[in-house]
Amino acid sequence: MVLTAGALWPGHAIANQALVQKNACIACHQPATRVVGPSWKEITEKYSDGKITAEQLAANIKGGSSGKWGAMPMPPQLQVSEADLKTIAQWLLDGAK
């Protein structure tokens, strides 16, 4: 297990919150409550088994998603830069803290 940036840089958590805000994810995702989409906590718990890589999760965000969580689909998030996608995906896999 490699040390994540979050362990080295305490400001990381705030930076990630700003990132999901900047990319308008928070219109549909909240930290612990399901609104339009699943909460960050639910996503973190579902993928905490290490079966999915940050690259795969980033691709799922970019391409949109449907049928995994409920009736509501997520439209493709094409506005998000590759760097932001990767950072957000890794943040989710690391527990969204």
Q: Which residues bind ligand HEC (CB under 6 A)?
A: 20, 23-25, 27-29, 36-38, 43, 57, 60-61, 65-70, 72-75, 77, 80, 88, 92
Find the shortest distance in angstroms from Cβ 84 to ligand HEC.
8
Token digits of residue 75: 């439209």
Nearer to ligand HEC, 18 or 27 (CB): 27
Token digits of residue 63: 């391409």
Query: Torsion over CA of 14, 20, 26 and 30, rounded to 10 degrees?
Result: -50
Nearer to ligand HEC, 53 or 66 (CB): 66
Find the shortest distance in angstroms from Cβ 69 to ligand HEC.
3
State how far the Cα of 45 lies from the Cα of 96, in Å rounded to an integer: 10
Find the shortest distance in angstroms from Cβ 62 to ligand HEC.
8
Answer yes or no: are the C-beta atoms of 80 and 23 closer than 8 Å.
yes
